[in-house]
Structure 1
Amino acid sequence: MDIKVKSHLKPCAALSIAIMIVALVMTLTGHGMNLGVDFTGGTIMTYNMGEQFETADVEAVLADNGITDAQIAKTGDNDTQVQIRISDKENTDDLRAALESTLGEKYSGMEYVDISRVGAIAGRDLINNAIKSVSLAAVLMLIYIAIRFDFYSGLAAIIGLLHDVAIMLSAVVLLHSFIRVETTFIAALLTIVGYSINNTIIIFDRIRENSHKSTLRQLSREDIVNLSVQESLSRTLNTTITTLLTIVTLYIMGVDSIKQFALPLIIGIVAGTYSANLINGYVWAALMDKRDAGKRAKANA
């Protein structure tokens, strides 16, 4: 399999940039991320239904009360509990009465469990902590890769990491109707940070190995990257496909809260795989060539 990294760089970069631009335009026009109660603030009502139940029944009661943007999740043992998240503007007393009156007729074992309120400030704290976590992870990864390989490998890896995070965030905007940003999204984001760097390390390890082979010293860095991607591609794809099969199964079979974790994870893994194989290596080669050109310019000055 002959893969020319440079020939794939421009279309891949163009696709990534296009996705980010569309997401940015949507955000600026008021169609950004679908933020959950954890970030916007609101009320969380929990009921034990006493048996398996249909979320459509809960949705119908909410719709009758003019609530169409509530978040409904099955929880508890055997999914017999329902967790309803609504914005602060809703009248919880009237809604509670409607839920217990209507659903109580069908589910005789229905019991009120709890009601709690989440302030928007908690969401801001979550966002700030997520930014700090990603930033710290990026710095630590840069240090680790710089020590294990070289500084430019670390820099290329961080560029790839930022790309993967940006694509994941952009996809959340584009899939506004399918992905709701809750605490599980933060977990998915941090998971992708680790997964993205793992794929990149596999490629860079092979690049370093090939760079030190005397039989390959006549090759340019670009060709070294091409060869390294070819040699490690089957391993990378097998690992990615195996991981995706598990997560796709979780998305198909899981409850709503699991779906909100799995879908961003799927997007991030796909983005991380293609950036590790088609972008990061060439970025490294370009950075190294630029460094060498700078050294030659200084020597000739």
Structure 2
Amino acid sequence: MHFDKSIKKLDYVHLSKYFFAFSIALMVIGVVFLSVFGLNYSVDFQSGSNVDINITKPMTKDEITPILEKLDIAHGTTINEGEQRISIRFNEVLSEDQDSVLKQEISKLDPNAAFEINTVDTDMARELAHNAIKSVLFACLGIIIYVSIRFEWRFAVAAVASLLHDAILVIAVFSIFQLEVDLTFIVAVLTIIGYSINDTIVIFDRIRENMRFAKLKTDEDLKELVDHSIAQTIMRSLYTALTVFIAAFFLFLLGGESIKMFSLAMSIGLLFGAYSSIFIASPLWYLLKIGKKKKPAKAA
């Protein structure tokens, strides 16, 4: 109860300059890492072959490496070990002969091994990457149009700015730690955008509702209205974010390998999304709103 009262009494708009500075610093660091290191694309976004092997007997890299040498692969390979699963990433597409040799040699170590081979050529990888970028841009455009119609353009700008903030920071974390980016990562980013805009709209709706009955004469009156609106909805936002975060986090810990990166991206994005909805979107709308008031009137 003491925590509830303390967090509701915060002056969010006054503190927004610190939140903005913190977020800008994080995004700058993220963009720098992204420019220097790039992203660790999976086979979904770059040409090559990815071989997932479900094993029934223990198998180590030392046992697999001699097999890969027999394939005469010109470019490098990456081997990821698991308790019942081994993933081998080839930087070039396996031929039918190489595919056959790999299966035969692995089967000698584990006759019950099951193989799943995914192959993407250069053109397909490029098309997938472009379509992923388009999907995020179209989602943001749709949000701008919808929020502008339902609220006003300042709400739309503030909402999309907070969404881009969330997306950039999630991408930056994956770049910094060189986590694998696959199609499920794009799904996670779009899901985060959808969740974050829902959380943001709840606060915006409360601001709009409070404005109907408020007598706003000064910027201070508007600031108090924004602070009061955030205070009215903040515990709902935090409880909802925490509930979904717990589910996503345990999916990351206990879920299968195929949804691991999706769950991790969701967990990170949920934290950034809750933060931006409360501390970025609404204070940014306030700045845009008072900016309009301060514009000098046109001479008659």
Q: Displacement, 1:98?
A: 6.0
Distance 1:292 1:73, change over 3 A: farther
Report the Cα distance in structure 1 between the residues aligned to 2:80 and 2:190, rounded to whole angstroms.
23
Question: Is the 8 Å Cα contact of residues 43 and 115 (structure 1) preserved in structure 2?
Answer: yes
Distance 1:83 1:93, change over 3 A: farther
Q: Which amino acid aligns with 1:198?
A: N
The 5 A counterparts of 1:1-301 are: 1-29=8-36, 31-47=37-53, 49=55, 51=56, 54=58, 57=59, 59-64=61-66, 65=68, 69-70=78-79, 84-88=88-92, 97=101, 100-101=104-105, 104-105=108-109, 107-110=110-113, 113=115, 115-176=117-178, 179-214=179-214, 220-294=221-295, 297-299=296-298
Partner SS, residue 43 of structure 1: strand
Q: Which runs of 5+ in 1 are unaligned?
A: none
Q: Displacement, 1:154?
A: 1.1
Question: Is the 8 Å Cα contact of residues 41 and 182 (structure 2) preserved in structure 1?
Answer: yes
Partner SS, residue 205 of structure 1: helix
Over the aligned positions, Cα root-mean-square deviation in angstroms equals 2.9
Name whichever of 2-11 and 244-253 sits farther off. Answer: 2-11
Q: Which amino acid aligns with 1:286?
A: L
TM normalised by structure 2 equals 0.83
Q: Displacement, 1:256?
A: 2.4
Q: Displacement, 1:24?
A: 2.6
Q: Displacement, 1:46?
A: 5.0
Report the Cα distance in structure 2 between the residues aligned to 1:37 and 1:73, rounded to whole angstroms.
19
Name whichever of 158-167 and 39-48 sits farther off. Answer: 39-48
Question: Is the 8 Å Cα contact of residues 38 and 120 (structure 1) preserved in structure 2?
Answer: no
Partner SS, residue 38 of structure 1: coil
Report the Cα distance in structure 2 between the residues aligned to 1:121 and 1:70, rounded to whole angstroms.
25
Number of residue pairs matched by the alignment: 285
Report the Cα distance in structure 2 between the residues aligned to 1:96 and 1:8, rounded to whole angstroms.
62
Q: Displacement, 1:100?
A: 4.0
Q: Which amino acid aligns with 2:148?
A: A
Report the Cα distance in structure 1 between the residues aligned to 2:189 and 2:284, rounded to whole angstroms.
23
What whole-Å deviation, never above 9, does each CA across 1:268-288 have from its counterpart, x for those lacking one?
Answer: 111111111001111111111
Q: Which amino acid aligns with 2:228?
A: L
Q: Displacement, 1:114?
A: 5.8
Percent of aligned positions that are identical: 30
Q: Which amino acid aligns with 2:28?
A: I
Question: Is the 8 Å Cα contact of residues 70 and 86 (structure 1) preserved in structure 2?
Answer: no
Q: Which amino acid aligns with 1:23?
A: G
Q: Which runs of 5+ in 2 are unaligned?
A: 1-7, 70-75
Question: Is the 8 Å Cα contact of residues 48 and 92 (structure 2) preserved in structure 1?
Answer: yes
